Structure 1
Amino acid sequence: MTIWIGVILGVVVCQRLIELVIARKNEAWMLRQGGIERGAEHYKWFIMVHVLFFISIFVECFSGNNPVESINYFLFSVFILTQLARIWCITSLGKFWNTKVIILPGATLRTTGPYNYIKHPNYVIVGIELFVIPLLVGAPITAIIFPLLHIFLLIRWRLPVEEKALADIRSMTKG
């Protein structure tokens, strides 16, 4: 595994850990304000998929079957753009951004930043990342399996829970 692959993976892992700290802080704030968590039972599956994603990349990269000798600048550009879009999502939602589905009675639905253009931009970004990051570092099997798992979890659990939560927010602010 070349140095730049290690740097990219290290940056992504550190970024995810920082995001978890931000998410926990925002979650605690929302709960103190009267926030209500929805769909807690499916959250563990997202954690499991994301942990297995990184393990899969490391196993595939260290297996030596897919050596990447030089950086693919197109994939690297897509990677950088997804990171910028991810930061845009987080900063647009501010204290309301976290990794769980939490509604805050009386709060208005956020429609700033990328949320002004697409309903669930962070899920699109994560799907792209789950495809691009493994290809960038030479883990094509991971690039196939994990975006499919992400889509399955979104369709099966997360989007129905989130759509119901968003509808509840809309009804709370109208009534």
Structure 2
Amino acid sequence: MTWFTVLIAVVGLERLAELVVSKRNAAWSFARGGVESGQRHYLVMVVLHTALLVGALIEVWLRRPAFLPVLGWLMLALVLAAQGLRWWCITTLGRQWNTRVIVVPGLPRVTGGPYRFISHPNYVAVVIEGLALPLVHSAWITALVFTLCNAVLLWVRIRVENRALDSLPVAASGVLPDARVRP
């Protein structure tokens, strides 16, 4: 169980790193006239994602489920794959990536990287991680509750995000203009 606690702590630190990047990118976006949408559901998202980490720990420490090697190692591989997909999304979007829904008028919609294949690849990573992370140590209650709550949240979030993104032009090349890399 100690190693699972370490895993959750590492994922928590990764989430904090995301928030640092997000805050920097939000300031960049707002300085360029960025418009935020969906503020009402953002706190729910923060609470739910925090509850995933805390819930998985509490469930494992209280229920003390057995570590099932086949399930555990497969779920760990999925967690790592989800992290890879998430950071591919972050690097592809560059300064436009954010944990909030902020669009900068005039910047084109990104259609490169994983966005070539699916409109919201980061949410694929979130769904995979939300199911797989607790199941690394058989915390099936947390996996089930998070997955159901997250489905409702993503239904709201994706609708908000699609409305906001509809205001952006699509870049012909799928790559952001040079403005993306300027400080």
Query: Quick check: TM above 0.5?
Result: yes
> 120-129 vs 5-14, which deviates more?
5-14
**Counterpart of 2:38?**
39
Following superposition of structure 1 onto structure 2, how do residues 108-123 of structure 1 map, counting pairs within 5 Å? Answer: 108-123=108-123
**Counterpart of 1:76?**
76
**Counterpart of 1:6?**
5
Give structure 1 stretches of 5+ with no counterpart.
Answer: none
Look up the equivalent residue of 1:152 and give its one-letter code. V
Provide the C-alpha distance between the structure 2 equivalents of 1:52 and 1:79, rounded to a whole number of angstroms: 17
Paired-residue identity, %:
38
Provide the C-alpha distance between the structure 1 equivalents of 2:165 and 2:130, rounded to a whole number of angstroms: 26
Confirm whether residue 170 of structure 1 aligns to residue 174 of structure 2. Answer: no
Provide the C-alpha distance between the structure 1 equivalents of 2:66 and 2:59, rounded to a whole number of angstroms: 10
TM-score, normalization by structure 1: 0.91
Following superposition of structure 1 onto structure 2, how do residues 1-175 of structure 1 map, counting pairs within 5 Å? Answer: 1=1, 3-68=2-67, 70=69, 72-155=72-155, 157-170=156-169
Change (3 A) 1:94 1:53: same
Shift in Å, 1:70? 4.8
Give structure 2 stretches of 5+ with no counterpart.
Answer: 171-183
> 56-65 vs 84-93, which deviates more?
56-65
Look up the equivalent residue of 2:97 and give its one-letter code. W
Look up the equivalent residue of 2:134 and give its one-letter code. P
Provide the C-alpha distance between the structure 2 equivalents of 1:7 and 1:51, rounded to a whole number of angstroms: 16
Task: Point out 4+ residue stretches in structure 1 off by more than 4 angstroms.
Answer: none
Q: Is the 8 A contact 2:106 2:169 kept in 1?
A: no
Alignment RMSD, CA only?
A: 1.6
Provide the C-alpha distance between the structure 2 equivalents of 1:73 and 1:154, rounded to a whole number of angstroms: 27
SS at match of 1:137: coil
Provide the C-alpha distance between the structure 1 equivalents of 2:160 and 2:26, rounded to a whole number of angstroms: 17
Q: Is the 8 A contact 1:131 1:143 kept in 2?
A: yes
Q: Is the 8 A contact 1:61 1:67 kept in 2?
A: no
Look up the equivalent residue of 1:40 and give its one-letter code. Q
Look up the equivalent residue of 1:78 and give its one-letter code. L
TM-score, normalization by structure 2: 0.87
Shift in Å, 1:151? 0.9
Q: Is the 8 A contact 2:114 2:121 kept in 1?
A: yes
Provide the C-alpha distance between the structure 2 equivalents of 1:9 and 1:96, rounded to a whole number of angstroms: 27
Provide the C-alpha distance between the structure 2 equivalents of 1:80 and 1:139, rounded to a whole number of angstroms: 18
